[in-house]
Chains A and B, each alone.
Chain A
């Protein structure tokens, strides 16, 4: 009898303390059991709420399962017990309705307090428009002349198991979002196509990106560092391949970075104008085109240009890619409304569009031999 009771107490103890193991550090490792604490005041509050409710649940579980287990051990027919015949008690029913009710309402108070703080996006120091599109994120700094797309940087060969996978496999991008530490950063989140969800676990920020609507969220990061997350809402084929990477820098470093970026976009625009008067040769167009194709087009039209039958059309052997150059440029520049084909006017430079159209007209046996120049793209883009 005592033995059974001792074992019983042991299991209860183990069950009670088990949530404590593996409590959050800021970087996930294999066999991580619990939520990360994160790096903002809000994320720590969320972590505390999570631990509180989990412990409440664990205690309820231990009590209920404990009583049940006791009954299963000591009220077995094989021990010769005779069943009691009680079958109702208003007092007990009221007690186990009221007690959980009170516990929950008490729990709702800190939860509501944190929630109110999370939803207060006023008085932000920096505002960034975050736009999801299949399958990348676009960041636009509202107060500065800085905007860019952020794409998965993991190589396709890693995904197809030809290369060894790096340590940030699927959680790395070509151009991360950069934000200042110690400042309130507001995110205005929207989408170009389907619903995505922008999630950085370390900030406890997860907000859906709804096409046609703008959601707000904010964070204030205390520690400089690199923080990684992923798209959380199923958004089509490559939903699993659109990570979010945020670098938090000290404010001074951040200011330098912004200046640098503004300089880069200025010179890019000058370069773009200059290119309008120049012709690139086939070789250059094809090599730039292939690079652009792999990052911007291959997700749907596939690296071999064959598309996914019934889902994404093939470019290889397509009538437009072989015979209709203006239409081809127009499709890439303006997209096809009502389908998954987006407009690339904002995402790619004229040179890149020229190169990728040239590539599509000359790769995989599409041997038109034609080149497309930036000025051709400009003509269609600006109606000249």
Chain B
């Protein structure tokens, strides 16, 4: 009986369903687009990672061995751009595409055609960016922060390609954000009030507003760089009445909320995983929501802590120091809530939980070094050293990236219907955990000892730790191939069948649809009590 109904249903809507490449090019299905985003992000993660390997190979020993300084600068720049805009952000958008409709009981994203478009312009953006590396003079070499006038008067002509690729990435992000907001506001299942939404949905809703607020600012910044360089304007040139420091204000007004764009969805993921494997409801749900919202609001008034050495008035330095210290309070609340969730739970250590636990500890280390960086006089010593590099890699790699990996391990059985290879996953976890700390922890030491960031060669006293760091880097890079192997096996649908709930402590609408989640879900909305 049920098969018959299914068949009729399919004939109604999908007798033209394309297959092969066309299926992926023309798809408006949130699950397909989520999968595309996630694979794209993973490929970019490997590309950006390869650039990190070049950087670490050059820094393995003092002296110039492998690349020249100009190429080294291109590597640090494009590594940053790829990881931020090509790996972390699309991965979160992919997870939102897959999971937000499933978690709120919606049949799809609200704007499916725009969804297709917002994904498919991304490969063009990154093709443009990466191809600039092969032009005469090379690609962008002024750091992912592209400070003027290094990126204007003193850059080469490929800057135009950089600018256009950033424009496309921005358009993609804004469209993705609009889609998330419209979906969450309009398409929740009956009974799912805002304060019943899963935290991943909440954090993404707030992230989407941040994206809409700041991506246009980035677009403005790159456009001014473009006109300064090619059309004779002087936004950032003192000789024409402009100000190079104004560039940094504009950039970081985008850049700091951007930091939270890359971590708020991670908070959401961890807030889903920890309760599941503690078999206990999330502690302080409401305070988690309020904390997320306050972080988002505060993120607009802390930007100049990236600029303490630019020569700000004393009052400005004090204001941004105190505002930055304040933002650690709601962030602390989140960590305390996760710990309180685990407290007196019945904890098990499945793979997603392992990554979530690593996230909590290592992200907190990154958060605490962030607190140190907020202290302006101390920041004068930390600023632009490897201490900062250590800080933001703890937050972004063991923070954002670990949360994305945790999310994949958490929801992958739901996507494929099969349990992935646990042995490989454990290898992936332990290799990543150990190597990532060998990679990033000694960066604190060389930074405090005085090693500046973005240099292709360094003084001899930094040699030993740099060797450790490089070894950690190579090991971390190689560890990700374990993940690749696991994902390929999972996509080939190898493994044991899983139930709809998958994890015995899992709660929420996404665990009520069968595993694997059918191509169309919640065509009639579920009712949430």
Closest to A56 in B: B371
CB distance from B254 to the nearest CB of A (A): 18
Q: How many residues of B contact A (CB 8 A)?
A: 101
Distance A84 CA – B369 CA, assembled complex (angstroms): 34
Distance A71 CA – B237 CA, assembled complex (angstroms): 57
Further pairs besides A49-B378, A160-B63, A311-B137: 18, Cβ < 8 Å: A34-B449, A35-B381, A35-B448, A68-B339, A77-B346, A96-B336, A158-B63, A161-B65, A165-B460, A194-B150, A201-B381, A211-B149, A212-B243, A233-B147, A233-B384, A309-B137, A310-B158, A311-B70
Contact A97 B333 (CB under 8 A): yes
Residues of chain A whose beta carbon lies under 8 Å from any beta carbon of chain B: 28-36, 42, 45-46, 49-50, 53-54, 57, 60-61, 64-65, 67-68, 71-72, 75-78, 81-89, 92-93, 96-97, 100-101, 104-105, 107-108, 111-112, 114-116, 118-119, 134, 158-161, 165, 167-171, 193-195, 197, 199, 201, 204-208, 210-213, 215-216, 229-241, 308-311, 338-340
Residues of B289-305 contacting chain A, CB below 8 A? none
When distances are taken between beta carbons in the complex, the residues of chain A under 8 Å from B244 are 195, 210-213
Distance A28 CA – B372 CA, assembled complex (angstroms): 21
Contact B459 A201 (CB under 8 A): no
Q: Which of B147, B343, B361, B457 contacts A71 (CB 8 A)?
A: B343
Contact B445 A32 (CB under 8 A): yes
Distance A165 CA – B61 CA, assembled complex (angstroms): 12
Closest to A70 in B: B343
CB distance from B358 to the nearest CB of A (A): 12
Cβ-Cβ contact count across A and B, 8 Å cutoff: 311
In the complex, 23 of the A-B residue pairs with CB atoms within 8 angstroms, ordered by the A residue number, are A30-B462, A35-B448, A42-B377, A64-B335, A64-B336, A82-B346, A85-B280, A85-B281, A86-B344, A93-B287, A118-B380, A161-B64, A193-B153, A194-B149, A195-B147, A199-B384, A210-B238, A215-B311, A232-B384, A234-B147, A308-B70, A310-B135, A310-B156
| Residue of A67, A114, A170 contacting most chain B CB atoms (<10 Å) | A170
Q: Which of A28, A83, A88, A207 contacts B344 (CB 8 A)?
A: A83
Q: Which 10 interchain pairs have the tightest Cβ spacing?
A: A310-B137, A212-B238, A240-B455, A310-B136, A215-B311, A57-B368, A84-B344, A77-B346, A87-B281, A232-B384
Q: For the complex, is B282 an interface residue (Cβ under 8 Å from A)?
A: yes
When distances are taken between beta carbons in the complex, the residues of chain A under 8 Å from B141 are 236-237
- Given the known inter-chain contacts A82-B346, A194-B149, please indicate yes or no for A232 contacting B452, CB distance below 8 A: yes
When distances are taken between beta carbons in the complex, the residues of chain B under 8 Å from A35 are 381, 448-449
CB distance from A209 to the nearest CB of B (A): 9
Contact B339 A46 (CB under 8 A): no
Q: For the complex, is B30 an interface residue (Cβ under 8 Å from A)?
A: no
Distance A199 CA – B245 CA, assembled complex (angstroms): 18
Distance A213 CA – B461 CA, assembled complex (angstroms): 34
Closest to B143 in A: A234
Distance A111 CA – B377 CA, assembled complex (angstroms): 7
Distance A287 CA – B361 CA, assembled complex (angstroms): 61
When distances are taken between beta carbons in the complex, the residues of chain A under 8 Å from B340 are 92
Contact B458 A240 (CB under 8 A): yes
Distance A215 CA – B307 CA, assembled complex (angstroms): 13
